[in-house]
Chain A
Amino acid sequence: MTSIKRMLVDPSSNDSITSKVYIRSAKSGKVTKIVREIYLRTDIPCSSRLCRACLANAPVDSNNRSRPFVLSEKPAGTTQYKHGHYLMPDTNIFLQCMDAIEHKSAFYDVIVLQTVLDEVKNQSLPLYNRLVSLTKADEKRFYVFHNEFRQETHVKRGQEESINDRNDRAIRVACKWYQKHIEQAAASSSATAPAIVMLTNDKANLAKAKSEGLNSTDLNGYVKGLKNADELLDMISSSLQDLEKKANRGANVYAEYFSLPKMNTGVRNGTLHQGTFHTSTYNSLEGTVGVPSFDKHLLIVGLENMNRAIDGDQVVVELLPQDQWKKQSDKLVDQDTLTKNENADVDEVEAIVTERERRALIDEAKRIQRSQDESQKVQPTAKIVGVLKRNWRSYVGHIDPNSVNRAKSGGQQVVFFRPLDKKIPRIRVFTRQATQLLGQRIVVNIDTWDRTSRFPVGHFVRALGELESKEAETEALLLEYDVQYRPFPKAVLDCLPSEGHDWIVPEKGTSGWEKRVDLRDLLVCSIDPPGCQDIDDALHARLLPNGNYEAGVHIADVSHFVKPNNAMDDEAASRGTTVYLVDKRIDMLPPLLGTDLCSLKPYVERYAFSVIWEMTPDAKIVNTKFTKSVIKSREAFAYKAAQMRIDDKSQTDPLTEGMRILLMLSKKLKQARMDAGALNLASPEVKIHMESETSDPASIEVKELLETNSLVEEFMLCANISVARKIYEAFPQTAMLRRHGAPPATNFDDLRSQLRARKGLDLRVESSKALADSLDGCVDPQEAYFNTLVRIIATRCMLPAEYFSSGTQAYPEFRHYGLATDIYTHFTSPIRRYADLAAHRQLAAAIEYEALDETLYNKNKMDAVVKNINIRHRNAQFAGRASIEYYVGQALKNKSTEQEGFVAKIFSNGFVVFVPKFGIEGTIKVETAKTYDADEYILELEDGRKVVLFDKVKVMVNVVKEQATGRRKTELTLA
């Protein structure tokens, strides 16, 4: 009997097996010892085309093919190595100077040792992925040599040897072996052997290599021998600077938050301030907090001061001393370039602020000191000391492919998630499906953000589909703007009339007709965009015997169907508005109501809420009447069809005549409004034509406006204003109104000084009238589009209009700045806006049609409603714009065109260009600008070209896949 002990096996195979022992320590503190076998072999080729021996011996795969050899027979020489050379860089060379190595002009025929590759992988996954793609690309001739598996080059770690020393030794051993091997190979084919050059910046390693008789040099030394040394040296020195500074990095955790009582007391006695944090759109290292006690927003600069706050969080801030106050940055900084090479998976505590970011900030500070004299531009700065309420939600985005270890298919890994919203930092996500999720649009929630973690940590929620697919991108933007797009639940559908589509207006005199006026005889028609299904409004007009005109606006009587406080009303209130995307509509109300029972379809009887005026021929209102009614629309026109009908002189039927009256009156109404100082603002609106079969976007055109558009608009404005007066009169405390605050003059500061500097024009902003008039004066005889450009920019200086409940503001504050009216509400689109529905109910109560529900005269409840619909309204606009942006991107895909654009904004390192033809704008970043004249708004580029604000520029419009979001986006470059 034998005991269990290693039997003597074939001695030749014995020393070809060795084992690797290493200790793994997990974050939890658990330490595990891992032992792995390694099979050493002699058939790993050197992959040099010089070598016949290795070629004969080359291994084959299951398809009986062997890999072609990589390293060229006659590699390039340098001044130092005249007979050509193969490079063998160590780990740090790759870690520090990848940009230079990727450069086209140098670094060919490189031997990447397995030891080095493994180390790179452990240090930085993104760099590893870049290195791997280099080894896979044929042109650079990078070869991975598995030195750890080759018998001659395998190195066992010595007793007292550190891992780094061992790895350095492994590189030297491999270098030595290669040198000898290549010399032999060259000798056998009587060629000159290229040198094997070990590249390292480690002095100790360099010295040892020299003493062992190896060719070795540091990177600078090597590059100096190359042709375009200067350019490469620049790239190298900047990356080496990083390295030096890394040594003295500072605090590596975020500051602890103050306790809640401390924050509360601080806020109460004024030492601390409370507000909502917003990240800058252009600079990811900067944010602002608006607090009541300061006019200007408080600036939060740097991640340390942001202290884990995310856009939208309720935060408490502490002011920084006045000598640290700063000007708002005029530099573009995005987090991608800052965090390009970071590893998602880090166990140890990392520096919160990386050297790259620190440098970006220091550059900034220096520049600001130079321009210190512009003290009026300096803003108070602050740091965040606590977060009262997190604004965390579900984020849509994609997995950063560079952070994924593709070779690992099953196990858990940590990857970076890039939210679509650039204001949100990257999120670290733990997942087992990283490889499957690549290329997918996914949803992630944030869970925590620890003091010791540079990025927040979240978890995968679900995948929406492939990046760029219409379904996934549409759902993504709905989620991103928090649009409720799920089906209506049963409780809501239970509130619909049980007759369904068979519902009709009951016979006259039966229930439903109480206090309703029969207006079925009126020649009512509707004018809407083509194909409109949810028809909210219809109009009529006729001449009265007294020479005045009667004009009526009839609005779908949604409040008849949607009773207060039932499930449907709650759902509508929470949705707030219907959202219009390019190809679809997310309804606020179930389609049975929206497109059928409420919709003022032609030829059928419908309930309506009518506003009827008596107007003089000058369109002065003599008398206004509000009533619930029954109407029967005679026709549903598209804008164009209505216009043609009006223009067609041969049509003289009463309906057309009525429309002509409406048009005539609307022109007068508009004139009156303009005289009062209403603004004619511009927003870049485009329309996307879809190919009907594939529903792919085919072309883009700028929206065309007809007289009939304005006809409808004027009467709707008129109705809204009339209703606003009526409900305010009835409910002075809780009327649902809409206001547009006058923008503070400071909002126009930039635009005014820009106009003055560039065009010598003066923009007056003391009133909307003055603004309207001076905007009219902003013309450039040479450039017709200039006026529109200024209007677009001016629009962006405005405050957003908002809903409010009348009790929350003083009467003068009711003013609608843009429309130049003292009071305003939304009444005319109850199918698609909840505010209008509320106004309907209030109006119905005001005319004593029905009693008002409690929610609409309870101040607190009204405030809640108003707050929600303001948010929903804004999100709906954003979602609509994002949808257009997506389709524009799809329409322009693979079509690179040169277009005219205008410079709309200028930074010290870039500028924003607006392209009218497609209604898009894009930022062009300039890596190296020669000069930047902040007073004249002129940026001189390195090639001597000057970019001047407001000027026309030729740009190339390309559609590229944006790395940061995985979306196809238009990208502009200077033509």
Chain B
Amino acid sequence: MEGLRNDGRRWNELRRIHCQLSTSSTNADGSSYIEQGFTKVLCNVTGPAEPSSRQKVKQDAATVTCEVYFAAFSGTDRIKRGRNDKKVQELQTAIQKTFASVILTHLFSRSEITISIHILSQDGGTLAACINATTLALIDAGIPLKDYVCACTSGQSTSIFDNEGSTPDPWLDVNYLEESDIPSLTVATVGETEKIVALSMENKVRIEMLEGMIAVGISGCAKVKGIMDAEVRRYGKTRLEAATGE
């Protein structure tokens, strides 16, 4: 109503994004932490390493495995999602497939790259945050990627409060409340190419609306990329300074 969303944003505004690299010093080759609004995700990457099982050995490429853990306290209701939960598995498959096509896996034949993601808090856009965190963690681990993979959500607001007859606004970066009320999708692009590597939508929406949603989503991806890139550079700089300062 009146062009404002339930948290005070306008249609084309992202939520606050805060990201960090190298958050876990001990067990991971690369790690990251990202907050998009109240969605908080922690990601660790290990590898390339010896595959954990023989089935995962590929002769010409590295295998990408992904494990997702939902913290029981991450949602409003305390739910423990088990390993066999279909949603968890779907999320794992989506992330794994997305990155298998972006990591230069042919450089690491007969090895395994493991992505493990902890979702600490959910407030909409979980998949997008997971993808963004993974990109950062992979960069931190120094695993070669074609480019950044950046993801963002967008939603299609309903026209109820708009009486001018125009198409209602698409909304960028939906939060949990919006996600449960309006149709929304997650889109992930590679670098600045605007090419889509992953796209996922679970709600019913008219096909005419789709284009606007995707367009807004892609513009969001570009913004996210800018923020992530800035953080990578800032962090790189501090590391460099630390290294040269020694």
- Which positions in A face B, CB cutoff 8 Å? 1-4, 6-7, 9, 13, 17, 19, 32-41, 44, 59, 61-63, 65, 67, 132, 136, 144, 146, 148-149, 406-411
Partner of A13, one of B1, B16, B175, B203: B16
A970→B2 CA distance, assembly (Å) = 39
Known A63-B167, A67-B3, A409-B181; judge A4-B158 contact (CB<8 A).
no
Whether A37 pairs with B16 at a CB distance below 8 angstroms is yes
A59 close to B38 (CB less than 8 A): no
Chain A hits for B160, CB < 8 A = 406-407
Q: A136 vs B16: C-alpha distance in the bound complex, in angstroms?
A: 32
A524, chain B: closest CB distance, angstroms: 63
Instruction: Given the known inter-chain contacts A37-B15, A39-B9, A61-B3, please indicate yes or no for A410 contacting B181, CB distance below 8 A.
Output: yes
Which stretch of B18-26, B47-55, B91-99, B130-138 is in the interface?
Answer: B18-26
Cβ B76 vs Cβ A32 within 8 A: yes
Tally B residues with Cβ within 8 Å of A. Answer: 43
Nearest CB of B to A732, in Å: 68
Task: Tell me if A41 and B177 are in contact (CB < 8 A).
Answer: no
For residue B123, which residues in chain A have a CB less than 8 angstroms away from its CB?
Answer: 37
B181:A39 contact, CB within 8 angstroms: no
Q: Kindly name the residue among A13, A19, A61 whose own CB sees the greatest number of chain B CB atoms within 10 A.
A: A61
| Residues of B close to A38: CB separation below 8 A | 7-8
Could you tell me if A34 and B7 are in contact, using CB atoms closer than 8 angstroms? no
- Across the interface, A411 reaches (CB within 8 A) one of B11, B18, B25, B181, namely B181
Other A-B pairs beyond A37-B15, A407-B160, 8, CB < 8 Å: A2-B20, A34-B76, A36-B38, A37-B7, A37-B123, A62-B12, A63-B167, A136-B161
| Bound-complex Cα distance A7 to B2 (A) | 33
A165 to chain B, nearest CB (A): 23
- Tell me the complex Cα distance, A241–B38, Å: 47
Question: Is B147's beta carbon under 8 Å from chain A?
Answer: no
Given contacts A2-B23, A4-B20, A36-B177, contact A407 B76 (CB under 8 A): no
Pairwise interchain contact B12-A67, C-beta atoms closer than 8 A: no
Q: Sample 6 A-B pairs with CB under 8 A, ordered by A number.
A: A4-B20, A32-B76, A35-B38, A37-B37, A41-B8, A59-B3
Chain B residues within 8 Å of A41, by CB: 8
Which residues of B pack against A, CB within 8 Å? 1-4, 6-13, 15-16, 18, 20, 22-23, 25, 33, 37-38, 42, 76-77, 123, 158, 160-161, 163-164, 166-167, 169-170, 175, 177, 180-182, 203, 212, 216
Q: Are A62 and B11 in contact (CB under 8 A)?
A: yes
User: Distance (Å) between the CB of B141 and the closest chain A CB?
Assistant: 14
Max chain A Cβ within 10 angstroms of own Cβ: one of B4, B12, B161, B203: B4
Q: How far is the CA of A385 from the CA of B23 in the complex (A)?
A: 69
Beta-carbon contact of A136 and B163 below 8 Å: yes
| 6 closest residue pairs by CB, A with B | A149-B8, A39-B8, A1-B25, A62-B169, A406-B160, A39-B9
Contact of B8 among A7, A136, A146, A407 (CB under 8 A): A146
Known: A39-B9, A406-B160. A146 touches B4 (CB 8 A): yes
Contacts of A65 in B (CB 8 A): 164, 166
CB-based contact B16/A17 at 8 Å: yes
Contact A4 B7 (CB under 8 A): no
**Given the interface contacts A4-B20, A67-B2, does A39 sit within 8 Å of B180 by beta carbon?**
no
A411 & B8 in contact (Cβ 8 Å cutoff): no
A35 to B75, alpha carbons, bound, how many Å? 11
Closest chain-B Cβ to A682's Cβ sits at a distance in Å of 51
Q: Which residue of A lies closest to B15 (CB)?
A: A37
Nearest B-chain residue to A5, judged by Cβ: B20
Contact B16 A407 (CB under 8 A): no
**Which residues in B have their C-beta under 8 angstroms from that of A40?**
8
Contact A408 B20 (CB under 8 A): no
Given contacts A38-B7, A146-B4, are A63 and B20 in contact (CB under 8 A)? no
Q: A1-B25, A4-B20 are in contact. Are A410 and B180 (CB under 8 A)?
A: yes
Given contacts A13-B16, A67-B3, contact A407 B9 (CB under 8 A): no
Least Cβ distance of B128 to chain A in Å?
16
* Complex alpha-carbon distance, A409 and B7, angstroms: 18
Tell which of A6, A19, A59, A63 touches B10, judged by Cβ atoms closer than 8 Å: A59
